[in-house]
Structure 1
Amino acid sequence: MKIYLALACLLVPAWLKAQMPQIQVSENQRFLMTEDGKPFFWTADTAWELFHKLDEKEAETYFQKRASQGFNVIQAVALAELDGINTPNAKGEKPFRNLSKMKPNPQYFKYVMQLIEKAGEHGLYVALLPTWGDKLFKNSWGTGPEIFNTENAYEYGKWLGLWFRSTPNIIWVLGGDRNPREGSDDVEVWRAMAKGLKEGLGLFKTGVFTFHPQPHSPGGSSDWFQADEWLSFNMHQTGHCPDELSYPKIQHDYNLSSVKPVLDGEPLYEDHPICFKAKENGYSLPSQIRRIMYSNVMVGACGQTYGCHDVWQMYKAGETGVNGPLRPWEKALDLPMANQMKYLKNLMLSRPYFDRIPDQGLLDGEQVKDKQYVSASRDGAGTYAFIYFPQGQTKNVDTHALAAARLRVWWYDPRTGASFLKGELQNYGSFSAVPPSSGEGNDWVLVIDDAAKGYPAPGTVAY
């Protein structure tokens, strides 16, 4: 292992270090930002098999497309789920030269770094999972083998930290679709890996860390690591059943006394069999995915991950595939929701960012927590508000928390990013909000501004 640590020290991509500012947590501990203080709204895609299955040309195609669609983070795994230990990558390399002694293969990790640098050329950060969770313990999917304990997890983490120590566009994600088991030392294994990473990164700026779990209640990463210094922000996996509500998990973490940013790192995927049962339930719809994402952000998430069932596994024609993919990954890159992700990011960045808070008080009356739950947020000073209507319901809006004498009101279309100016009105404390259309698939965001602030249209102005 020491020989390979020394080799890692030779790799210093100085051009990338100069190009990409590191990501860090905002001063109020609610959001992410770049080290130069700019808002960073996490807009990620899951490409779990990226390093394992794609060659350079394919990776370039993928990065170019996702960057053009407004994504800023790619979630990918070093030791991949689909037999990532024993099946070589697209370059014919395996991650270990000697698995029993846990000796990493520099050629494999040089290719990982090459693709991370290529992502950086497109302005993309890589949320890098050191391993998929089945390498820690076996579950009903994934092919293992189980290789990690507290000792070698620390050594592997330290090696990775040294290898990637000067690569600024990495966000570290431990875990990998496995929750620590009760009565096991799983939590300590992950902590050992985090400790090794931190030590390997050493005096260099270390960026931010999180943990990718399976669906879990009431929290996600917070249920095991909230008090750990290494955990910069919390992550959930809210799963692939649209009827299981995601936003209460975000609310749980947002309301913890020890404050950390939170986001959903794996929601319902596009093109995914609903609850893994395509024959009975069909496949996911963009409207279901939008509802999950916008609700999560309104109640306090600092960003949102997208996923496509064909793309995460980099499915290619002729392969068996996992859980019935519908089309090859390259054709799936242009599915509707992939092109709608930027509208969520654009909306959140269209108004003052760092003092945004969830505020259900903007809605009159109690609400049942279900698929029709209307969610709301505003800035602390009350100069604007966003209210998400998942099915275009009519609702009475309470504007007492908004300081303006006159309000400018817009309807924002999450499907197109278009803004429709409703007009200006006197702030009498409440008004009835009637979205332009209603019913399943007719979701809208009401944007209310202090008219005196002169905020721009929240999206492309439509007439």
Structure 2
Amino acid sequence: MPVDTEALSRLAVTVGPSGRTLERNGEPFVLHMDTAWELFHRLTLPEAEEYLDTRKAQGFNAVLAVALTELDARGVNECFGPDGALLSSTEGGGSIFHPNRYGMRPLLNDDPALPNAAYFSHVDAVINAAAQRDIIVFLVPTWGRWVNEAWSGPPVLFNAEKARSYGAYIGKRYPHLPKVLGGDSNPIWTDVTAFRERTAEAKARSGAANFDGLPITDSTAVVDSMAEGILSAEPEAFLTYHPTALALPGSPVPTASAFFGDRKWLALDACQSGHTDVEEPAFNPPLHFWDARASHVPLAQMWAAGKRPIIDLEGHYEDMRIGINPSERPLWNEHDVRAGAWQAVCAGACGIVYGHNNVWQMHSPEREKLDGRFKSACYPVPDLSWQDALKAPGTRGTRVIAEYLASLPREVHDTKAPAQDRLVSAAAPAEVVQRDGRVDVIAAGSQWLIAHSGHGYPFELDLSGFRGQARWLDPRSGEWSDAIAVEGGKQSFTPPSSGNVENDWVLEVKRA
């Protein structure tokens, strides 16, 4: 059954009148999106419906999912036969893609110019199931590995001609869905095998890697061609780009606008603040890596880059090890996720994107034991299935944010902007004051303001123009404190608790 274009039209998002927000059917739309990269490839339709039912009940209104996925695929020297058995690439009839749960692969002959209609019929069914639950799919046509290796290595499947052809297919088949190009990759990239060899050598000696002479590839023309193909079939397509969190020496910083800011097709500016909070000696210097505890940095750069909505498409995932490291480093927890999300919206993001390390890849311990070809990635919690991971506590905090923002009046949505100049001082320790212990402020003139204290330390605001009241929002529960009088001018505030990321608080100020 083809996609229900009428339902998708009803769910379509556009840029709001301020140029900084999203709208749906003429009303402000606050994005509350979950990450489900492997939704189409690893789940049956009933399983996908189970996933969507849960996320709908948790208040999500969008999901990220990939057509040509990263996982369940092999490199240049290995492939899968018709029955799914692993073959050498020299054996006939093989494909680099493992079949989906119905035995179908996305491409005929691994050629992006030849999409497999049988595979995409399952994609259609999942997209329709999402639409029936008022959830819109932000569709990633292909993961970056198939465009320029990304983090996976060869083979590369796309050139400009094939990208244009495949883009036209996606645009025609899936009108009204936002399209996310990139797929965890930057257009200025490298031979990832050589990159990994140099970083591994540097880590072995606990020093900085030498990236001199590293081969540089430029897939900008391929990305532009895919965008052109989509627009040829869907002239009003809503497009964005999902970069990785690292930039090579001499490359622009990793944001969509840094690479494609002059393109008319870029409707939504995006970054990936990523999953690491430490300076890896092998990377820094000379590589540029975003600090996941300071997502305000790339978001501020995007806000300054042009009048577009901005979003952090991939912040730290709940239950992923910090630094995507197999060691005993702690897991990102619900408090980290919540604090990062508040930091993003106070920096001007048009919504929040949540991710869980066991959910995005639809981790199934049982299936992995039965089928050695079903491999996990990024060190998920071993015995935690994606079904159980759907219940992780981080979704409670993101729901509080989304419901609060959705409750704001139109005037606030149209005029709110980052307002760090309202912050006079903050008492957080120096090591966290510009990271997750930071106080972030966003305001709509002198009508409305919120300040998020990442570790709950006291702070002082300049509330000139405000005469009204303030109150504390508990971001864990959504409960409100009693009102505090605001008389304008400088005023100090002490949150109900403090000490670390578990004690973040949100102050709302409204003019009477």
Shared fold (TM-score greater than 0.5)? yes
Superposed, 1:337-352 pairs within 5 Å as 337-352=394-409
Deviates more, 1:216-225 or 1:244-253: 216-225
1:199 aligns with 2:199: no
State whether residues 246 and 292 of structure 1, in contact with CA within 8 Å, keep that contact through their aligned partners in structure 2. Answer: yes
1:148 aligns with 2:132: no
Tell me how far apart the structure 1 counterparts of residues 506 and 182 of structure 2 sit (CA, whole Å). Answer: 34
Offset, 1:419: 1.1
**Cα displacement string for residues 244-290 of structure 1 (whole angstroms, at most 9, x for unaligned residues):** 2211100011012x311111000000010111224331211222122
Tell me how far apart the structure 2 counterparts of residues 428 and 289 of structure 1 sit (CA, whole Å). Answer: 33
**Cα displacement string for residues 305-343 of structure 1 (whole angstroms, at most 9, x for unaligned residues):** 110000010000142421321111000001010222111
State whether residues 8 and 136 of structure 2, in contact with CA within 8 Å, keep that contact through their aligned partners in structure 1. Answer: no
Counterpart residue identity of residue 295, structure 2: S
Tell me how far apart the structure 2 counterparts of residues 101 and 259 of structure 1 sit (CA, whole Å). Answer: 34
State whether residues 22 and 207 of structure 1, in contact with CA within 8 Å, keep that contact through their aligned partners in structure 2. Answer: no
Partner of 1:184, secondary structure, is strand
Q: Percent of pairs identical after alignment?
A: 32
1:37 aligns with 2:26: yes
Residues paired across the two proteins, number: 427
Match of 1:400 in 2: 464
Match of 2:390 in 1: 333
Deviates more, 1:360-369 or 1:68-77: 360-369
Q: Which of 315, 319, 339 is the equivalent residue of 1:271? A: 319
Superposed, 1:222-237 pairs within 5 Å as 222-237=257-272
Counterpart residue identity of residue 335, structure 1: A
Match of 1:212 in 2: 242
Match of 1:386 in 2: 450
Match of 2:360 in 1: 312
Tell me how far apart the structure 2 counterparts of residues 378 and 417 of structure 1 sit (CA, whole Å). Answer: 20
Match of 1:354 in 2: 414
Match of 1:324 in 2: 379
Match of 1:172 in 2: 179
Partner of 1:159, secondary structure, is helix
Partner of 1:77, secondary structure, is strand
Tell me how far apart the structure 1 counterparts of residues 118 and 11 of structure 2 sit (CA, whole Å). Answer: 27
Using a 3 Å threshold, how does the CA distance of structure 1 residues 426 and 162 change in structure 2: closer, same or farther? closer
Match of 1:461 in 2: none
Match of 1:372 in 2: 437
Deviates more, 1:280-289 or 1:114-123: 280-289
Offset, 1:146: 1.3
Using a 3 Å threshold, how does the CA distance of structure 1 residues 324 and 216 change in structure 2: closer, same or farther? closer
Match of 1:288 in 2: 336
Partner of 1:173, secondary structure, is strand
Return 5+ residue gaps in structure 1 as ranges.
1-9, 453-463
**Cα displacement string for residues 122-177 of structure 1 (whole angstroms, at most 9, x for unaligned residues):** 11010100000000122443x75310000110011011111223xx3x11100101
Counterpart residue identity of residue 307, structure 1: G
Match of 2:508 in 1: 447
Counterpart residue identity of residue 270, structure 2: M
Counterpart residue identity of residue 98, structure 1: N
TM-score between the two structures when normalised by the length of structure 2: 0.80
1:247 aligns with 2:254: no
Match of 1:104 in 2: 115
Q: Which of 48, 53, 56 is the equivalent residue of 2:45? A: 56
Superposed CA RMSD in Å reads 1.9
Using a 3 Å threshold, how does the CA distance of structure 1 residues 55 and 144 change in structure 2: closer, same or farther? farther
1:190 aligns with 2:223: yes
Tell me how far apart the structure 2 counterparts of residues 264 and 139 of structure 1 sit (CA, whole Å). Answer: 19
Partner of 1:339, secondary structure, is helix
Tell me how far apart the structure 2 counterparts of residues 111 and 83 of structure 1 sit (CA, whole Å). Answer: 17
Counterpart residue identity of residue 73, structure 1: A
Tell me how far apart the structure 2 counterparts of residues 242 and 299 of structure 1 sit (CA, whole Å). Answer: 19
State whether residues 286 and 337 of structure 1, in contact with CA within 8 Å, keep that contact through their aligned partners in structure 2. Answer: yes
Match of 1:13 in 2: 4
State whether residues 269 and 306 of structure 1, in contact with CA within 8 Å, keep that contact through their aligned partners in structure 2. Answer: yes
**Cα displacement string for residues 216-271 of structure 1 (whole angstroms, at most 9, x for unaligned residues):** 46451111101101110111111112462211100011012x31111100000001
Return 5+ residue gaps in structure 2 as ranges.
74-95, 190-215, 248-252, 279-290, 369-374
Q: Which of 209, 221, 224 is the equivalent residue of 2:256? A: 221
**Cα displacement string for residues 86-144 of structure 1 (whole angstroms, at most 9, x for unaligned residues):** 11111111011232473111111111011001000111010100000000122443x75
Match of 2:496 in 1: 436
Tell me how far apart the structure 2 counterparts of residues 12 and 44 of structure 1 sit (CA, whole Å). Answer: 21
Using a 3 Å threshold, how does the CA distance of structure 1 residues 159 and 241 change in structure 2: closer, same or farther? same
Partner of 1:378, secondary structure, is strand
Tell me how far apart the structure 2 counterparts of residues 134 and 55 of structure 1 sit (CA, whole Å). Answer: 24
Q: Which of 115, 129, 134 is the equivalent residue of 1:118? A: 129
State whether residues 177 and 214 of structure 1, in contact with CA within 8 Å, keep that contact through their aligned partners in structure 2. Answer: yes
